[in-house]
Each structure stands twice: as structure tokens, then as C-alpha cells.
Amino acid sequence: MTTQLRQERHSVSDLKIHLVCVIKYRRSILTAESLSVIEKSFAEVARKMNFKILEFNGESDHIHALIEFPPKLSVSQMVNALKGVSSRRYGQAGFKKPYGKDALWSLSYFTSTV
């Protein structure tokens, strides 16, 4: 088994997390088309913040992502950026948010090291 290591100027790392984000009020509103919009927004954020989305999947009321990231980023920084941008892009694409609210995501999230 070969492991891809992230080599930065002063560090070598292999940090991965499993992230689960839940739709506000656990509403079943996600479709294949809306999941595609969220996945593209996650990829955009990852590119700008220098981390990688290794896997992405979702169901009607939540998403899963496997993320590889550098030690200089905190999990909360990444999650805030991912949830904020994806919620905005979701609305811009014309999809309705739960109960007409401004937020797509619940404030909470689950993450586990891999």
C-alpha cells in the first residue's frame, strides 16, 4: 500500500477527515442535480484553500466528504467555507432552502479522522 504524502515547505503530512453535513431541520430536499451543485462548490473551495475532496457523496438530507488537508488549516475553517459557499451556490442555482430560510445547512457537523 502506498500513501500519498502532502509535502509542504516545512512539513510532510497525511491528514484526512470524513465530514458529514446535515440539511437544516433534516429536510429531504437534495436531488442528484442539487448534489452536483454542492459538489462543484466544494471543489471550488478546496482549490482556493489548497485542500482536496477525495470522495463526495450524499443522500436527500445529508452529504459525506472525504477531505485531505494541510496542517495549516483547521477543520472548522474548512467546514465554514464549504458550508457557506455551497449554501450560497445552492440558492443561486434556484433550489429552495428548508422552510424558506436563508441557511441550507444545520449549524452542526460530524467529522472523524481517517
Could you tell me if 19 and 114 are in contact, meaning their C-beta atoms sit under 8 angstroms apart?
no
Q: Find the CATH number of the domain harbouring 104.
A: 3.30.70.1290
Query: What pLDDT score does 82 carry?
Result: 98
4: pLDDT confidence band, cut at 50, 70 and 90? confident
Question: Which residue would you say has higher pLDDT here, 3 or 106?
Answer: 106
The pLDDT value given to residue 101: 84
> Looking at the domain assignment, is residue 7 inside a domain?
no
Q: Is the pLDDT of residue 65 over 80?
A: yes
Q: Is residue 6 part of a domain?
A: no
Grid coordinates of 46: 478546496
State the average pLDDT over residues 81-89. Answer: 97
Asked if 6 contacts 50 with a C-beta cutoff of 8 angstroms, the reply is no
Nearest to 3 by CA among 17, 15, 18, 19: 15
pLDDT number for residue 13: 93
Sign of the C-alpha dihedral, residues 69, 72, 74, 77? negative
Q: Is the pLDDT of residue 2 over 70?
A: no
Q: State pLDDT tens for residues 9-46.
A: 899 999 999 999 999 999 999 999 999 999 999 999 99
CA nearest neighbour of 19 among 52, 63, 51: 63
Closest by CA to 62, choosing from 111, 94, 106, 95, is: 106
Number of folded domains that form the chain: 1
The reported pLDDT for the residue numbered 84 is 97
pLDDT score for 73: 96
Q: What range defines the domain where residue 46 resides?
A: 12-113
Mean per-residue pLDDT, 70-92? 97
Asked if residue 87 is part of any domain, the answer here is: yes
Higher local confidence (pLDDT), 81 or 10? 81
C-alpha torsion sign, points 85, 90, 96, 98 = negative
